[in-house]
Structure 1
Amino acid sequence: MAKSDHSTFIGYILWIFGFMGAHRFYFGKSITGTIWFFTFGLAGIGWLIDIFLIPSMSRSAQRSYRSGRVDYNVSWILLTFLGIFGVHRFYMGKWLSGLIWLCTGGLFLIGYLYDYWTLNEQISDVNREAA
């Protein structure tokens, strides 16, 4: 199996914004990522504990996702920092939805949360199609 692009280093970068669950979504933990998103990292307690859990989350993600044309790290950084503008969608070649995200603030933030839930699968699909 090919090595994944889910790095521990990027996990720690996203952990800085972990009160929004970015690092948990990055590693494919959508349910707990959503809980972190709505509770600000379980009032910061879960967020602090996660600093010790990131290496194991990284190992788990490396067994689940494959690399390809679209880089997971770049996509996740773009989503986390510029997601409401759709920059991550432009990067993946999804121009129409990127324009929609740009004009609607990430489709009124609901699309932003949707992309947190599904970005790993979206990247896998784009990479599978390119292969």
Structure 2
Amino acid sequence: MTTALNLGGPVASETIRDGVTVLTLEHEEDLVPATGGWGHPSPNRLTVSRSVLEAGVEYDEAVPAHLLVRYQETAALVDASDEPRLVEMRERVAAFTGGGMGEVTRWVARRETDPPEFSPP
């Protein structure tokens, strides 16, 4: 069985193939998931949604509910949950990853605005 995790992406209108289970984390104030339209009901789609912004507070970011740090907080709540479908999802991920911590790779991409002159071989 294939398992997918979506953090704040616009995937609600995507049809889920047979044999694929999707866990989607969404924030009620996040504009990005809302651009995905209305969902296709599926027993293989589990959506966890919560409010992450405080009423009356002004935020500096353009889309403050879409920040990775807020999705990390929501993911931590999912990890701590004893809801059976979330437990099953964590078990699937642990079986795939071996249950350990992953490796982090950081890289930087740069676009050259003035490419070097082409010299034929």
On whether the aligned pair clears a TM of 0.5, the verdict is: no
By percentage of residues, which structure has more strand?
2
Give the structure with higher Rg (CA).
Answer: 2
- Using CA pairs under 8 Å that are at least 6 residues apart, name the structure with larger relative contact order, 1 or 2: 1
Q: Normalized against structure 1, the TM-score is what?
A: 0.28
Q: Normalized against structure 2, the TM-score is what?
A: 0.29
